[in-house]
Each structure stands twice: as C-alpha cells, then as structure tokens.
Amino acid sequence: MPSVVNSLAATTRATCTVPVALGSRAYDVLIGPDLLSEAGRLIATRLGKAKCAVVTDENVARHHLATLEASLRAEGRLRGSIVLPAGEATKSFRELGPLCERLLELGVERGDLVVAFGGGVIGDLAGFAAGILRRGVRFVQIPTSLLAQVDSSVGGKTGINTPQGKNLIGVFHQPVMVIADTNVLTTLPEREMKAGYAEVAKYGLLGDAAFFGWLEKNWRSVFGNDTAALTRAIETSVKAKAAIVERDEHETGDRALLNLGHTFGHALESWTGYSSRLLHGEGVSIGMCLAYRLSEELGLCPKGSAARVSSHLRAVGLPTSIGDIPGAKASAPELVRLMGQDKKVRDGKLTFILVRDIGEAFITQDVAVERVTQFLVREIDTSRAA
C-alpha cells in the first residue's frame, strides 16, 4: 500500500479519520494522540444532544476513566459509568443481564449513547448490550487496547461467549463513531500490546504484502514511542478492515478473510480454557503460522513464506507454534473437534483461510479434516521435539 511505504516524516498530522462507508450506518474512526480528553466535544459536535453511559473495565477505569468522565461532564453529557471486572470471562450472560439493568437504572433512553470504553471484551459486551437495550440504542467505541483499535471496535460484530464456544451469541450492531486515542496504549501491558500486533500483522498477511514488508522494517517504531509509526499501523489496519466490512458487512463472503489464523486460534483458545495461558492475539499469531505452514504443505504457497511469517512474529515476541503455549500437551483430534465447535462451520465442513503468498489469503472448504488432523499431529510432535 503506497501510503504506508511513504516516509514516516510525511505522517506528522495528529489525527486521521477513516470513514466506514455503510450507507445509513456509516461512521468515522478517528485515530490519533490525546483524543480521550476531546471525546466529550467530539461526541457533542458529531452526535447531538445525547447523554452517555460509559461501560469500562477496572484496569481501564484505573488509568483513564477520570479523563473521559471529565471530558463528557464538561459537555454535560455524562449519565454515569459502569465498571466491570477485566478479562474474557466478563463477555458472558452472567455479566450481560446485570449490565443491561444497570444501564436502565442510569436512565439510558432511546436517543442516548452507550460508550464502550475498553478492549475487545468491553467493546463486544457493551456493544451487544446497546444492540438489545430498548431494542437498540446507539453506541460509541473508545477502544483502549491495540487489538480493539485495529480490529474489534470496527465492523459492528458484538457478542458474548458461552460454554459451547466464543462469540456464539450476539448481534451485528455498528457503532456511530470510533475514537482511538493512541496515547491510552502507553498503559497497556506489553504482552497485550504484542497480542494486538498479531492482528495488525494479519492485515498485511491477508491482503497487503507491502504493509507486511513495512512492518518487518518498522515494528520497533510501532512498539516504541513513535506516534507517527503507531498511528500509521493503526490507520492502515482500520482501512483494510473497513474495506472488507464495506464489501461484506454480515460475513456472507469476503469478511471471513479476517479470520486468517482464527480457526486454529479459536480452537487453541478453547483448549486452554480462555485463560492467561494464551491471549486471543497470541492464538491468532500461532494460527496464522499454522495456516501458512499448512498452505505450504498443500503446495498452495511458495516455500519460505511460512518461515518468513513466523520469523517476524517471533522477533516481535509472539508465539508461533503450539509448543510455545506454556504447559501445553495438545492432542490433534481434540483440537480438530474444537475447530468443529467454531462458528465458521457450514454443512459440517470447516471453513479455512489459506494463503497463496504473503498478502494473498483466500477462503476454502476443500481441506479434508483428516489432512488437518495429520498436519496437527506433526505440528505437535515437532513442537515437543524442539
């Protein structure tokens, strides 16, 4: 993508705006430093007289809630805030019911706004709550993790997990605005930053080889205090996601490309019990490496591509094989069974995202389950031997 390979010196503008063109559900993603203290003004200017109920988690609240509340209060927009426990377990029916009731107790009306202020967990849960509250109220995403800024806050997928699998209950409900303040990432734990980076790399790997090449050269700047590099990585990712969502809002086709690495990744997450043994982005990192290795093994992709992908992700500090998961003793049939629980199953066939090269992912249902099982047996054996 030419805009990415341009010199960073050309990227000094503070804030950039990525439009998501979805007709009557269109909205902007604003990206840049210090947007949080501007949130009240941005909401007031763009979204009228609505009042805001903020939903956040305890980690984000500790670092940033006071800034957001002050900004909303200054515009007379704050109804109140609800602080939930941090972690994947919060994306559940157990939290959803009480959250909806607390939003009603705060007096959220049909014309008001729910503000999802946190990582992907809060974005998915609060977005779902907004989608069903009073048959749907508008919501604003203020994503605070890198993963949420580049992926989960854009595209309108909301939902919760159940014992049957991740994200199996939910609605498509687009936000009316996304405000991604790059400065809030300074408090994000390093491991979470790396996990989010896996989704950034995903956009290069699935459709933009030049962006992947740029990341290979510039990832240290993205992780350092270089606002221009970080903003550029987020902007490119959001543009890529927006383009796919615009083509296929409800995932009847191309949007499945965004699941590169996710069929394997979700199975690994489920197998590790959605615990701190494996973060979502770490599962995606391993899953993308597996997708490249499987594609190479099937003769779909040039030799050496898989090694290039894992070498970059390993340099960043991400896991690249099943054996990198601590305490792991995976079983291939169990992982394949868990893949079958994933929602990307149609007529009993697994939908896989495989690759023809760096930046060339495609959707297929042609891979036999036995082939995947044999592949995983080898992966697990190699991992143990290493």
The one segment of 25-33, 87-95, 134-142, 309-317 that binds ligand NAD by CB under 6 A:
87-95
Question: What's the min distance (Å) between Cβ of 56 and ligand NAD?
Answer: 9
Residue 118 binds to ligand NAD (criterion: CB under 6 A): yes
**Only segment of 107-115, 185-193, 306-314, 330-338 that touches ligand NAD (CB under 6 A):** 185-193
**Residue-wise over 187-224: b if at least 16 C-beta within 10 A, else e?**
ebeeebbbbbbbbbbbbbbbbbebbbbbbbebbebbbe
User: Which position among 32, 40, 131, 155 is part of the footprint of ligand NAD (CB under 6 A)?
Assistant: 155
DSSP track, 49-96: T--EEEEEEHHHIIIIIHHHHHHHHHTT-EEEEEEE--SGGGSSHHHH
| CB neighbour burial string for 225-248, b if at least 16 within 10 angstroms, e if fewer | ebbbbbbbbbbbbbbbbbebbbee
In the complex with ligand NAD, the residue whose CB is nearer, 172 or 213, is: 172
Nearer to ligand NAD, 49 or 63 (CB): 63
What is the Cα–Cα distance from 280 to 283, expressed in whole angstroms? Answer: 5
Among the listed ranges 187-195, 295-303, 309-317, 342-350, the one in contact with ligand NAD (CB under 6 A) is: 187-195
Tell me if 120 contacts ligand NAD by CB under 6 A: yes
Q: Does the protein bind ligand NAD through residue 86 (CB under 6 A)?
A: yes
> Of 91, 194, 255, 312, which one interacts with ligand NAD (CB under 6 A)?
91
Are 214 and 358 in contact by the 8 Å Cβ rule? The answer is no
Residues serving a catalytic function are 135, 157, 199, 241, 251, 255, 259, 262, 266, 280
CB 111 within 8 A of CB 50: yes
Q: Is 59 a residue that touches ligand NAD (CB under 6 A)?
A: yes
Decide whether 283 or 305 has the Cβ nearer to ligand NAD. 283
Interface ranges with ligand NAD (CB under 6 A): 57, 59-60, 63, 86-88, 91, 118-122, 124, 144-145, 147-148, 151-152, 155, 157, 166-167, 184-185, 187-188, 192, 195, 280
